[in-house]
Structure 1
């Protein structure tokens, strides 16, 4: 009963946190003239990735590398194959040309970099420093190239939110705090439930922890899409995938080397595959519609089925 209450309570907190952060982020974009896409790729993406960071650091320091790395790889798969898919099924997502020219290709590149990095069996301190340097360069470039005039026309239709930028910042901070707390509460309950049934660490990391820590992305993207803020919806997913690799693995590997033992090349290939397939899907008509969402969802379910089948066979 306590485990189920933890899962349910975590989800409720996540929902409230996402609402607060999206309102605050939209207000910042409007008041300070920052493009909503940049907000989605940075502030919102980092905020929704906070649970992954907390879980990965905690797991790595406890010697549970399988959960730490599986959390990132699984979350990146879930972000595209589940979060973006469900969001598109609820409401088709408009995609800016800048997203397909710069941000999605960069996500593909860092996904390929991670695949190359784990070939020696771990993500070490040197790898972490390279990841963080790339992240810093990406953030600086994103901020400097952001143009509020490129934002969605729908931004004017979004609920205005607070007029005071300071209050908007507080809403973002409170939202992030609730996302972190709710995410960890949800994950703790889900992991305990999985361990009760004897599921391995790698599978727990790739599935339950990945889905649990991706709940902020799901709720935030759905809320943003419903409010007509496509930039934040897709920017959140793409930005989170970039942050998951460069920031989370970068920071975690500085504290403790992350072993890739127990992982199959299939897991990393699927993560890279989802990143690659998103590019043509987003490029076609500069939108991700319900048909594309259904395709991504089916692909994700096939992969989840593969993981469950392998876990059962083992």
Structure 2
């Protein structure tokens, strides 16, 4: 039992466990983010790199942990669903809440729009291509015409692309002339706090995945859809808090860099790491492509809003929130059998 055998294996207990695990994820991510930001300032990283690499990888650790634990538990579809659902949440909800929580419009610049946003769009395309190659060259022989297996060699494709992303960021750090850090920092304490945050997240995500798996089996929700909704929302909480807080502190570049960097990491690293652990991942193109299509559309809308006057206004933020509400309504309709765009069965 995911509750350790001390509590009954009932829906009420699992719902309570999900709430508690989400709170622990929030606490651990807060420790991780605070230490990551202080260390980034100490080492003189540019704001965009700080948001897209250090803060993004830290706040994406819940998603990575969810993929690892779902892979080990044999419910990898839930892990993949959590990555796609989290990416949609990040693109539509987090920038909107960050803009609404800041004073005036959320400002950006050409570097973030043309480098971070466009590379993220390339990351989405790379995942689609990897899935397509799996369907074409490693088809699943269970009667599903659009299903294939992502093998370790195929999973290396997005990992290599993320290596290119890191190289580009390293070049930016090399070109950046940072101001000397004039504050005080206890390096050992900050690194210890970062490690403790990672530990809390690992424990909480393991419990979260187990409880969601039990609930989805009881209610009859497909693993992929459970990941898209419940797990995705819980693991996106750290990204939300970090981006809103940095936007309020007048650090819009770090806030938006966290959004794009987190999604790039989730798509190019988290999913391939799960494949590397389990060996293969059976992917159903009929389910994955419509979801990635929604993610692509959401990304294009956000990109267009950010490029307009290089800012995100309150009106545009409400449009993004409304789009996410429509997405949730669609997922509920799919689960209830009202619509049938996702061929889950």
8 Å contact from structure 1 (residues 69, 258) kept in 2: no
What is the match of residue 4 of structure 2? none
1:259 aligns with 2:275: no
Work out which of the residue numbers 216, 219, 222 in structure 2 matches 1:197: 219
8 Å contact from structure 1 (residues 27, 161) kept in 2: no
What is the match of residue 249 of structure 2? 227
Q: 1:24 to 1:63 in 2, by over 3 A?
A: closer
Q: 1:166 to 1:231 in 2, by over 3 A?
A: farther
* Distance across 2 between alignment mates of 1:191 and 1:222: 30
1:27 aligns with 2:38: yes
Structure 1 residues 85-96: aligned runs within 5 Å: 85-91=96-102, 92-96=105-109
Greater Rg, structure 1 or structure 2?
2
Query: How far 1:205 sits from its partner (Å)?
Result: 1.6
Q: 1:2 to 1:274 in 2, by over 3 A?
A: same
1:302 aligns with 2:330: no
| TM-score normalized by the length of structure 1 | 0.87
- Aligned to 2:112, what secondary structure does the other structure show? helix
Query: How far 1:32 sits from its partner (Å)?
Result: 2.0
- Aligned to 1:260, what secondary structure does the other structure show? strand
Structure 1 residues 134-283: aligned runs within 5 Å: 134-146=161-173, 163-255=185-277, 256-261=279-284, 263=287, 265-283=289-307
Structure 1 residues 109-120: aligned runs within 5 Å: 109-119=122-132, 120=135
8 Å contact from structure 2 (residues 33, 242) kept in 1: yes
| TM-score normalized by the length of structure 2 | 0.79
Q: 1:58 to 1:21 in 2, by over 3 A?
A: closer
- Where does structure 2 lack aligned partners over 5 or more consecutive residues? 1-11, 136-147, 339-345
Q: 1:13 to 1:148 in 2, by over 3 A?
A: farther
8 Å contact from structure 1 (residues 183, 216) kept in 2: no
String of CA shifts for 1:207-237, please: whole Å, max 9, x gaps: 1121122122122222322333323321211
Higher relative contact order structure (alpha carbons within 8 Å, sequence separation ≥ 6):
1
Query: How far 1:269 sits from its partner (Å)?
Result: 0.4
1:47 aligns with 2:58: yes
Aligned residue-pair number = 307
Q: 1:63 to 1:194 in 2, by over 3 A?
A: closer
Query: How far 1:185 sits from its partner (Å)?
Result: 4.1
- Where does structure 1 lack aligned partners over 5 or more consecutive residues? none
* Distance across 2 between alignment mates of 1:19 and 1:161: 21
Q: 1:22 to 1:289 in 2, by over 3 A?
A: farther
8 Å contact from structure 2 (residues 110, 310) kept in 1: yes
Q: 1:105 to 1:197 in 2, by over 3 A?
A: same
8 Å contact from structure 2 (residues 112, 253) kept in 1: no
